[in-house]
């Protein structure tokens, strides 16, 4: 999707493994977000970042860490993956002003 | 804590009919967004509603916002099969923090 690159697109992990989901936006926007999407649950906010160097917890932060080292990149790390973290993860930039969120294409993560 | 509720969660309707999706939220906000998601795809922005009484229209879709009632509606006029998708509303807390919280989505299935 325009302006947002998410990698990888698919990932399978074993329980206990770690990984980092990468997200980069080239629109020079301050705010970035990580959501997870599960059937019947809509999108739930994991973490967000209002500006470079700041991060805040969302609705479901447990088991995740994030890093916003520069304005362009916002990464999501699973230190010890659990089957409950099987989900589709979306990164977005935009908001919370007049701009809507612009979403990446998502990462489909399976933890076995 | 901001809660966003959509109803119905699932809607099956005939082409040519009109229907409305409702989005209620639990705390004061003047910013509400509507998104569309096709199966297996990312989310795309439909409308941004920024004040009480705001109304936006695009084709057969019209969205409105009543901040006093904490209610937004997405009205579908003379539905066509191409509008089959999942529709999400999302609310942000504006200056209190930058969280943007989504409803669970309304899965719309339009029968030809």
Q: What is the 3-state secondary structure (H, E, C) of chain B?
A: CCCEEEECCEEEEECCCCEEEEEEECCCCCCEEEEEECCCCCEEEEEEECCCCCEEEECCEEEEEECCCCEEEEEECCCCHHHCEEEEEEEECCCCCCCEEECCCEEEEEEC
CA distance B13 to chain A (A): 20
Do B48 and A100 lie within an 8 Å CB cutoff? yes
Do B45 and A95 lie within an 8 Å CB cutoff? no
Residue B26 CA from chain centroid, whole number:
15
CA distance B2 to chain A (A): 10
Task: Report chain B's mean pLDDT, rounded to a whole number.
Answer: 93
Task: Report chain A's mean pLDDT, rounded to a whole number.
Answer: 93
Count of CB pairs separated by less than 8 Å, A with B: 68
What is the predicted pLDDT for the residue at B96?
Answer: 63
Comparing alpha-carbon positions, the chain B residue that sits nearest to A59 is B101
Q: Check if B100 contacts A (Cβ < 8 Å).
A: yes
Do A101 and B43 lie within an 8 Å CB cutoff? yes
Other C-beta atoms within 10 Å of B63: how many?
24
Task: State pLDDT tens for residues B53-80.
Answer: 899 999 999 999 999 999 999 999 999 9
Q: Give the percent of chain A with pLDDT over 90.
A: 80
What is the predicted pLDDT for the residue at A97?
Answer: 67
Q: Residues of B with CB below 8 A from A44's CB?
A: 102
């Amino acid at each position: 999707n325009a302006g947002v690159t998410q990698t990888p697109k698919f990932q399978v992990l074993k329980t206990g493994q770690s990984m980092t989901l990468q997200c980069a936006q080239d629109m020079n926007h301050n705010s970035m977000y990580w959501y997870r999407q599960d059937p019947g649950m809509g999108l739930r906010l994991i973490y967000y970042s209002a500006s470079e160097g700041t991060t805040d917890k969302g609705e479901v932060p447990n088991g995740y860490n994030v890093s916003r080292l520069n304005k362009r990149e916002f990464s999501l790390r699973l230190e010890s993956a659990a089957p409950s973290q099987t989900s589709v993860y979306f990164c977005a930039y935009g908001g919370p002003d007049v701009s809507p969120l612009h979403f990446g294409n998502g990462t489909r993560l399976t933890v076995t | 804590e901001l809660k966003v509720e959509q109803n119905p969660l699932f809607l099956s309707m005939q082409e040519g009919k009109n229907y409305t999706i409702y989005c209620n939220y639990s705390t004061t906000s003047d910013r509400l967004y509507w998104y569309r998601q096709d199966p297996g795809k990312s989310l795309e922005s439909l409308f941004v509603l920024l004040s009480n009484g705001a109304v936006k229209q695009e084709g057969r879709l019209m969205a409105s916002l009543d901040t006093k009632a904490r209610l937004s509606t997405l009205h579908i006029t003379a539905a066509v099969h191409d509008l089959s998708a999942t529709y999400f509303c999302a609310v942000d807390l504006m200056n209190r923090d930058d969280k943007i919280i989504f409803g669970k989505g309304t899965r719309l299935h339009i029968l030809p």
